[in-house]
Copies of this chain bind each other. A is one copy, B any other.
Amino acid sequence: MQIRTDLAMESREFLNKKSGVSSYIFQHGKIEEIHVHVETKEAAKILMKDCGKYITLTYPNLLYQETGERKELVRILAETIRHMIPAEGDILIIGLGNRHITADALGSRVLDHLMVTRHMSEIAMPGLKGKLRSVCAVAPGVLGITGIETAEMVHGIVEKIHPSAVIAIDALAARECSRICSTIQITDTGIRPGSGVGNHRQGLNRETLGVPVIAIGVPMVVYASVIARDALAMMMKDIGMNEDEHQSAIDVLIRRVADDGMGDLVVTPREVDDLVGRVGRIIADGINKALHERLTDEEIAILSNDHLV
């Protein structure tokens, strides 16, 4: 029974003693930083994750986050990003998803707060000389609205822009409700086909784009079917039951939880509209700081997109 999750740290739980995957954990106060390295093709196949590094930051509930905790989270995020990208060259940031669907809006929410500088490079800005890295940002929209595969569009833009790396932001699906908006995953493997709330048909990665692709994602939903299957499997095991004998009860449960005949049911916090705004801003702050180490918070605030969107 295969369980879908876009978080490597959740796959890891099934695999913790297998070969081909290594993981370690750092603790920064209430923030936990988990590294998972998928090292072999065999492990990649079993986990349904590409080979590479997956770093997750988990932290307490954003609705009650204190100022100090937030600053620390942004700092760790900025450092993690900085270690994954080349030290020089243009950075292209891609905000994936559909701005009009809350659970899929993370990408465009991040773009709303980014500091974009590529078009400023030639303008004299006294005091900022030598401090600006060239950054550009695009929200390519979703296939259902544009008729164009995201990967196709991004590829076209990359060929014109020639960035040194791409950072792609996307809403993820997780396996545990407690991860929703309380986990940020950063990976150097890019975006995998079939992943994300919007279910990307093609991947965005070093192979397809020709440059390093860092993906930053946050779980926004858990598919109800995932919870149902997962919980049932546990329960069956716990009570020593044979699944086959109780198929009617199982069918009732799965149908109730996971299938309303109207498309995918998801489990999400009632406050998701609020949460996506908060976590989107945290990621934007992290990226802005990662790319512009020498600017103050106030300089970044003045130069960011906030006032144009």
Instruction: Give bound CA distance, A127 to B182, whole Å.
Output: 26
Give the nearest-CB partner of A237 in chain B.
Answer: B249
Q: Which residues of B contact A160 (CB under 8 A)?
A: 148, 152-153, 155-156
> Does B269 contact A268, Cβ atoms closer than 8 Å?
no
- Which of B102, B118, B139 contacts A141, CB < 8 Å? B139
Asked if A239 is at the interface of the complex by the 8 Å CB criterion, the answer is: yes
Instruction: Give bound CA distance, A98 to B147, whole Å.
Output: 21
Give the nearest-CB partner of A178 in chain B.
Answer: B260
- Proximity bits, A140-184, B CB within 8 Å = 1, else 0: 111111111100110111111100000000000000111011100
> Does A270 contact B239, Cβ atoms closer than 8 Å?
no
Answer whether A136 and B141 are a contact pair too, CB < 8 Å, given A160-B153, A249-B239, A262-B271.
Answer: no
Which size class do A's interface residues fall under? 35 or more
Chain copies in complex: 4
> Does A159 contact B157, Cβ atoms closer than 8 Å?
no
The SS class assigned to the A binding surface is helix
> Does B230 contact A256, Cβ atoms closer than 8 Å?
yes
Asked if A46 is at the interface of the complex by the 8 Å CB criterion, the answer is: no
Asked if A1 is at the interface of the complex by the 8 Å CB criterion, the answer is: no
> Does A177 contact B257, Cβ atoms closer than 8 Å?
yes
Q: Which residues of B contact A257 (CB under 8 A)?
A: 177, 227, 231, 257, 267
- Proximity bits, A98-128, B CB within 8 Å = 1, else 0: 1011111000000100001111100000000
> Does A116 contact B146, Cβ atoms closer than 8 Å?
yes
> Does B298 contact A67, Cβ atoms closer than 8 Å?
yes
Q: Which residues of B contact A272 (CB under 8 A)?
A: 102
**Most interface-central of A98, A148, A178 (chain B CB within 10 A):** A148
Answer whether A274 and B234 are a contact pair too, CB < 8 Å, given A138-B153, A227-B257.
Answer: no
**20 residue pairs A–B, Cβ–Cβ below 8 Å:** A61-B261, A100-B273, A101-B274, A102-B273, A104-B270, A116-B146, A120-B147, A136-B148, A138-B146, A142-B308, A152-B160, A155-B160, A156-B160, A177-B256, A178-B261, A182-B262, A231-B253, A238-B246, A260-B269, A263-B271
6 closest cross-chain pairs (CB), A and B = A118-B147, A136-B147, A156-B156, A238-B249, A156-B160, A116-B147
